[in-house]
Chains A and B, each alone.
Chain A
Amino acid sequence: MKTLIQFLSWLGLVLSANLVAQEKVTAQQFVDLQEGNKPFAGFRRAHAKGACITGEFVANGALAPYTKATLFEAGTTAFVGRFSIAGSNPTAPDLKAPVRSLALSFDLSSTEQWRIAMNTPPAMAVTNAHDFYQQIVAIKQGPDAIKAFFNEHPESKDFLNWKASYTPSSSFALEQYNSINAFYLIDNQNNKQAVRWHVMPRDNTPNTLSNSNNALFDELSSRLANGAVSFNWVFTLASDGDDETNPAVIWPSSREQVSAGVLKIKTIDSSEGARCHDINFDPLTLPTGIVATQDPILNARSAAYAESYRRRAKEKLLEALQ
């Protein structure tokens, strides 16, 4: 009887948590907002326009003492990835997108997968999914709404400072991409170290862009035709005063950094059948040695990505059945 009462209390807790969750923004509402009134069937609801890439990560071993993740032991590991621009339109003009992205997928073993989704901003403007939802609503409403939104959200200071100083480059290859959220590295003694990471371009040769809607993807294709595009993968280690659960605050530049190795991108494939299209770059798909922090935005990403993935998977299934 005691067990039954305990179970019923737990069930009540889950159900009431469900009711509380219903009052807040749900994954479905979030993806509804992202896709707008006319969803593009079969495409991602966010970052719909993109191209698949393949390459390899050459680890130098410098991060290995901090994590059990085998990827960081000195050696080379292949990856599949994707460059993309923000937005729900898969044919949008590249140069109008406010955010550029690089996603990576490491197939380390059948039980060890790592998905990474990085963006050009180094911080979020807000600290939780519900405010992020309101931020997107404001962006869709126009400049006055977004101005009012930022006035009501002083935590967006670091993001706005970055935005004021940021000038989009002439190539995906010349951007810095950031993890934004923090993760823990777990070493062999199970010590944890909070980190963020970014990938820094090794190339600095600008290109003249065309006026085409595909200017950035065309530029990357021609750049890759002349050789691999490389980035340094750099980890920033948090100090005691840093809050790893707050994605809106950029850590001081004095924090220790460890360069883990070089990401070499070798091929690009913009076709519909390319390898990365079936991947859900859910940043909570993590290997042993990397653990999520309690950052509310990081923890909300998984459910939103899953909802977007489910919608396009259903559309792809119906397409395959026809």
Chain B
Amino acid sequence: MIAKHSLSLRLLHWVMAMMFVSLFAAGLTMVSSLEPWQPSLLALHKAFGLVALVLFVLRVCAKFSSTPLTSSSDESKLQKMAASSVHFLLYCLMCAVPLTGILSQYFASKPISFFGIVSIGVKSEPDIVLYGLFRELHSLLIAVFALLIFMHVAGALYHYFIKKDDTLKRML
């Protein structure tokens, strides 16, 4: 019997994983495309970015309200430290990436519509320097995020295929 993570954490993990991959693909596409669907993709990217931020808050609540699982693997101290550092940084980026996106739009004075239901208020007069700061941070943090996700996936596959332990199965 595998001691799995709570259902809420597992659901949030996979939903957010799919969302981040989609947001990343949409982001890469929309910054270069001049096709007529580009503005719709941009609007979806922004709206789902807001959803990702809300899910992050829920995930932090779920994380703190559930009992942490003890490691099922005989990892070295260094491996444990590496894994927990990657996890900690992933959590930081789950929050910082959408936040920098929102702030870039705030300082560009471009309201973000949440599926046409409500909009996020923006600065009345744009500030191009602060827009530049948060726009570049958004891209930079996404690159770090992608690298960490790659390490995270590599670690999970290492546990599954090489160590043959329950680390990945606990999240399924």
Contacts and interface: CB of A to CB of B under 8 A. Distances in A.
Interface of A: 7, 10-11, 14-15, 17-18, 21-22, 24-28, 30, 80, 107, 109-113, 129-130, 275, 277-280, 282, 284-285, 292, 294, 296, 299-300, 302-304, 306-307, 309-310, 312-317, 320
Q: Which of B26, B28, B38, B121 has the most CB of A within 10 A?
A: B38
Given A27-B31, A303-B33, A14 B26 contact: yes
Interface string B11-38: 0000000100110011011111111111
A107 B32 contact: no
Nearest to A284: B39
Contact of A313 (B25, B42, B132): B132
A317 B125 contact: no
Contacts of B37: 17, 299
Contact of B126 (A280, A302, A314): A280
Given A310-B135, A313-B132, A316-B132, A278 B126 contact: yes
A interface, over-half SS: helix
B25 A14 contact: yes
A314 B18 CA distance: 31
Given A280-B110, A302-B38, 17 more contacts: A11-B21, A14-B29, A17-B33, A18-B28, A18-B33, A21-B34, A26-B32, A27-B31, A80-B125, A111-B119, A277-B128, A294-B36, A296-B36, A299-B35, A304-B34, A309-B108, A313-B132
A129 B35 CA distance: 8
B155 interface: no
Contacts of A294: 36
A183 to B, nearest CB: 13
Nearest to B136: A314
Contacts of A300: 34-36, 38
Nearest to A105: B109
| Chain B interface bracket (under 10, 10 to 19, 20 to 34, 35 or more) | 35 or more
B25 A15 contact: yes
Contacts of A14: 22, 25-26, 29
B127 interface: yes
Given A303-B38, A313-B128, A27 B33 contact: yes
B141 to A, nearest CB: 16
B129 A313 contact: yes
16 contacts: A11-B25, A21-B29, A24-B34, A25-B34, A27-B32, A107-B125, A109-B121, A110-B123, A299-B38, A300-B35, A303-B30, A303-B42, A310-B132, A313-B131, A317-B133, A320-B129
A275 B35 contact: no
Interface of B: 18, 21-22, 25-26, 28-39, 42, 108-111, 118-129, 131-133, 135-136
A10 B30 contact: no
Contact of B121 (A7, A30, A110, A320): A110
Nearest to A22: B32
B32 to A, nearest CB: 4
A317 B129 contact: yes
Contacts of B122: 110-111, 113
Contact of B109 (A18, A30, A279, A299): A279
Given A292-B39, A296-B36, A299-B39, A18 B132 contact: no
Contacts of A26: 32-34
B111 A110 contact: yes
B63 to A, nearest CB: 23
A26 B133 CA distance: 24
A302 B42 contact: yes
Nearest to A17: B29
Contacts of B118: 111
B124 to A, nearest CB: 5
Q: Which of A10, A11, A21, A80 has the most CB of B within 10 A?
A: A21
